[in-house]
């Protein structure tokens, strides 16, 4: 098998335009979360979603301990919080962030395009990532919002022609 050039691979994946989420959990009363674009619908019946998370992610470790996670599907107004949650360093990510919980206790944000609250159902091997399958226990889709998008390493917004 030919070796795949890492930069070329990264560039090819960057051409796949995606939405942006912040995946969260609550471990021992402490909120954790990170920006995730590798989110997908998985099954309608039963209702399942999946996220793919780097094995080095602090949020992944917290989700494995807690056994649940929330998916905050971001609106165009939330690029700032997406940047903030894309770092493992810096100040506390949740400082000044307005959140509440529903069924599991995972932090869910007020300004989302939509919100999904899940029990952690399965964890699969995904190379240097792990694939988390969530059983959906609560959803909310509050209204008419424009989505936040990610394409070629930049946050974008939909443009209507």
Ligand X SMILES: Cc1cc2nc3c(=O)[nH]c(=O)nc-3n(C[C@H](O)[C@H](O)[C@H](O)COP(=O)(O)O)c2cc1C
Whether the bond between 132 and the residue before it is cis, its omega within 30 degrees of 0, is no
Distance CA 122, CA 135 (A): 9
Q: Which residues bind ligand X (CB under 6 A)?
A: 20, 34-38, 52-54, 57-59, 86-88, 150
Place of tokens 């030919």: 2
Of 57 and 101, the one with the shorter C-beta distance to ligand X is 57
Min. distance of Cβ 34 from ligand X in angstroms? 4
Q: How far is the CB of 29 from ligand X (least distance, A)?
A: 17
Which lies closer to ligand X via its Cβ, residue 43 or residue 87?
A: 87
Least distance in Å: CB of 107 to ligand X? 13
Q: How many CB atoms lie within 10 A of CB 90?
A: 10
Of 86 and 137, the one with the shorter C-beta distance to ligand X is: 86
- Report, in angstroms and rounded to the nearest whole number, the Rg of the chain calculated over CA atoms: 16
- Assigned token pair, 23: 């995946």
């Amino acid at each position: 098998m030919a070796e795949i050039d890492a930069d070329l691979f990264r560039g090819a994946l960057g051409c796949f335009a995606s939405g942006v989420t912040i995946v969260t959990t609550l471990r021992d009363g402490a909120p954790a979360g990170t920006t995730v674009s590798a989110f997908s619908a998985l099954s309608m019946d039963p209702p399942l979603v999946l996220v793919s998370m780097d094995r080095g992610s602090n949020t992944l470790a917290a989700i494995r301990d807690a056994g649940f996670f929330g998916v905050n599907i971001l609106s165009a107004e939330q690029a700032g919080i997406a940047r903030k949650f894309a770092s493992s360093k810096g100040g506390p990510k949740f400082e000044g962030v307005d959140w509440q919980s529903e069924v599991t206790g995972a932090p869910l944000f007020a300004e989302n395009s939509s919100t999904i609250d899940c029990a952690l159902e399965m964890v699969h091997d995904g190379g240097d990532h792990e694939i988390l399958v969530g059983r959906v226990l609560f959803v909310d889709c509050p209204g008419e919002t424009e989505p936040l998008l990610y394409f070629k390493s930049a946050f974008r917004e939909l443009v209507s022609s």
